[in-house]
Amino acid sequence: MEISGNSAFYAGLSTIQSGQNRVDQAAGQIANTTIERSVTSQSSEAQVDRLRSVDRSQQSDLASNVVEMSQGKFQVEPGVKVAKAADEVLGTLIDTFA
């Protein structure tokens, strides 16, 4: 019996990885926002204006980043269930045909 790379197990792992990437990106943006705020509180007005002009295009809303993190979590959960179910089915098939 051959186990192909197109199995449900790999689909589950791919979903888990996508969800983790989503969480990582949102967490990074939240961390950048936090760093920017601390720099803002310690910098002169000229430095603050320069930082804001450079990063204005990359700024994102904290609430949307928290939502992205939650979506990543909800994306990982079904991926785990799919991978676990595929693993159990594969174990059953191996036991049956062995």
> What pLDDT shows up at residue 76?
95
Q: Does 68 fall in a domain?
A: yes
Q: Does 1 fall in a domain?
A: no
| pLDDT of 71 strictly over 90 | yes
Higher pLDDT: 89 or 1? It is 89
Q: Does 2 fall in a domain?
A: no
Higher pLDDT: 94 or 68? It is 68
> What pLDDT shows up at residue 58?
53
For the CA atoms of 8, 11, 16, 21, the dihedral, rounded to the nearest 10 degrees, stands at 180
Q: Using a cut of 0.75, tell me whether the model's pTM lies above it.
A: no
Q: Does 72 fall in a domain?
A: yes
Number of domains in the chain: 1
DSSP codes joined into one string, 25-70: HHHHHHHHHHHHHHHHHHS-HHHHHHHHHHHGGG---HHHHHHHHH
Q: Does 3 fall in a domain?
A: no
Q: Does 75 fall in a domain?
A: yes
**Domain containing residue 74:** 8-97
Q: Does 87 fall in a domain?
A: yes
pLDDT digits (tens, 9 = 90+) for 18-61: 999 999 999 998 888 766 555 555 556 666 666 665 555 555 57
Mean pLDDT of the chain: 76
Q: Does 76 fall in a domain?
A: yes
Q: What Rg value do the Cα atoms of the chain yield, rounded?
A: 22
